Amino acid sequence: MTQPFGYFVHHQGRGHAERCAAIANALPVTRPLTIFCARDDIFPALPAHVEIVRIPSLFEPGGGEATTMDDIATPATLHCAPLGWPGIRRAMATIANWFDSVNPALMICDVSAEIAQLARICSVPHVKVLQHGDRGDPGHRAAYDGAAGLLAAFHADLAQPEWDAAMRAKTCFAGGLGVDICVPERELARRRIGVAADEETILVLSGGGGDGFGQAPLAVGARAKPGTRWITIGPVQRDWHATEPANIEHRGWVDNPAEYVAAADLVIASTGNTTCQQILAAARPWLAIPEWRYFDEQHRKAEALAAAGVACVRPHLPSSADAWEQALAETRATHRPDAQRGMIADTPAHDTAMWLEALAARLWTPAPAATLPLDLTGA
């Protein structure tokens, strides 16, 4: 029987699950795959041969946690490892027991430094998903250095400058992984979301990993552009002092964000990975506003996007009508659609699956037996 792959999926947001599903659907049907996640309702369609094992969250209390050991320092090689949490113990035991029972070919980790190190401690080769951010700490370095390979769901031109040659050499860069790179045709997308063909439209997009943008600054922007239709999708933080004009509409969660992106004349969005890939694939003018994330993930990604010339970046939403005018004008003036499209691979999921298969084959193929030199002396 073919050795299975394991896959840990962080349940915050949707990007981790979407990447996993894309890879699962691209792997050969002969490769068993077991997913470990605290939720089983966040995944797109998965093949029948894929199993999801629910485990307790490693990051949220589930009841019965001790509070008497919080004063014991966390070592620098770990990030989230509180003592006395039964849920963490059960999750780790579930994964370790699976390691022992099936002898997996690879464990893919998206993302947890602790799960990556668990795989290494249990003598299981792991692939660590690589994210942007200030991740030079001992915990991340242990996960990266001990990995058999690294997987980056973005183009190599978005790599951070401090990632050295050894790190890049074992990295599979897959721009567009986890999103539908078949962009809907603009006019069709507009009809589907109810926007007229000649109506200038700005889309404000917030993903599932945060609380969204504030209502007040968006209202300022909409008032500064009264002839433009503003549509928000995803969460919006409500501000009691916001005075919204009639040209802004909040649609909340939608099932077809790619159509909204394709229909927009300009997109305002944070720099979560799925959001990035959708906008780059659609090649839309993009005002990128990074949100707070651990390790400054979105800020470092915004820096990479700006350096590659594929987004106009601001540290926060503009706070006045003049600032909005300047930001929107710069977004349009610096738009490079060909450079944006160049960030997306033609077949990112297939490429990733084949890279994983090749990596597993290399790791588990026995080395040829050494041959002794012929003795021609007769001794």
Q: Greatest CA span in the chain, whole angstroms? A: 98
Torsion on CA atoms 78, 84, 88, 94, rounded to nearest 10: 120
On the question of pLDDT at 15 being above 70, the answer is yes
Any idea what the CATH number is for the domain that residue 273 is in?
3.40.50.2000
Residues 118, 139: contact at Cβ < 8 Å? no
Is 64 part of a structural domain of the chain? yes
CA–CA distance, 72 with 210 (Å, rounded to integer)? 30
Residue 182: pLDDT band with limits 50, 70, 90: very high
On the question of pLDDT at 375 being above 60, the answer is no
Same domain for 146 and 288:
no
Beta-sheet strands, E only, within the chain: 5-9, 33-37, 50-54, 106-110, 126-129, 149-152, 171-173, 201-205, 213-214, 229-233, 236-237, 248-250, 266-269, 286-288, 312-313
CA–CA distance, 92 with 55 (Å, rounded to integer)? 9
Neighbours of 148 (CB within 10 A): 18
Length of the chain: 379
Is the dihedral angle over the CA atoms 316, 314, 181, 344 positive or is it negative? negative
Residue 379: pLDDT band with limits 50, 70, 90: very low
Same domain for 207 and 114:
no
User: What are the Cα distances from residue 351, in Å, to 6, 132, 228, 354, 359?
Assistant: 18, 21, 40, 5, 12
Instruction: Give the phi and the psi of residue 311 in degrees, each rounded to 5.
Output: -160, 150
Comparing CA positions, the residue from 251, 265, 247 lying closest to residue 328 is 265
Is 334 part of a structural domain of the chain? yes
CA–CA distance, 293 with 139 (Å, rounded to integer)? 17
Is 330 part of a structural domain of the chain? yes
pLDDT for residue 13: 76
Is 164 part of a structural domain of the chain? no
Is 367 part of a structural domain of the chain? no
Q: What is the pLDDT of the chain when averaged over all its residues?
A: 95
Same domain for 205 and 147:
no
| Residues linked to residue 236 through DSSP beta bridges, in sequence order | 213
Q: Which of 80-84, 300-304, 335-339 has the lowest mean pLDDT?
A: 80-84
CA–CA distance, 291 with 335 (Å, rounded to integer)? 22
Same domain for 199 and 122:
no
| pLDDT tens digits, one per residue of 89-141 | 999 999 999 999 999 999 999 999 999 999 999 999 999 999 999 999 999 99
Comparing CA positions, the residue from 154, 75, 83 lying closest to residue 117 is 75
Same domain for 237 and 104:
no
| pLDDT tens digits, one per residue of 290-334 | 999 999 999 999 999 999 999 999 999 999 999 999 999 999 999
Residues 9, 111: contact at Cβ < 8 Å? no
On the question of pLDDT at 374 being above 60, the answer is no
∠ CA 212-315-202, rounded to 5°: 55
| Residues linked to residue 288 through DSSP beta bridges, in sequence order | 269, 313
Same domain for 289 and 210:
yes
pLDDT for residue 370: 65
On the question of pLDDT at 373 being above 90, the answer is no
Comparing CA positions, the residue from 93, 69, 91 lying closest to residue 82 is 69
Residue 174: pLDDT band with limits 50, 70, 90: very high
Same domain for 144 and 196:
no
Question: What pTM does this model have?
Answer: 0.93
> By residue range, what is the domain housing residue 13?
5-152
| pLDDT tens digits, one per residue of 218-244 | 999 999 999 999 999 999 999 989 999
Instruction: Give the phi and the psi of residue 158 in degrees, each rounded to 5.
Output: -100, 10
On the question of pLDDT at 371 being above 80, the answer is no
On the CB side of 244, CA atoms within 13 Å amount to 17
Same domain for 141 and 199:
no
Pairing relationship of beta strands 50-54 and 106-110 according to DSSP bridges: unpaired
Is 95 part of a structural domain of the chain? yes
CA–CA distance, 121 with 100 (Å, rounded to integer)? 12
pLDDT for residue 208: 74
Total number of domains in the chain: 2
225 token code pair: 């552009």
pLDDT for residue 103: 98
On the question of pLDDT at 377 being above 60, the answer is no
Same domain for 191 and 319:
yes
CA–CA distance, 248 with 334 (Å, rounded to integer)? 25
Is 79 part of a structural domain of the chain? yes
On the question of pLDDT at 369 being above 90, the answer is no
CA–CA distance, 40 with 174 (Å, rounded to integer)? 25
Same domain for 100 and 237:
no
CA–CA distance, 156 with 107 (Å, rounded to integer)? 23
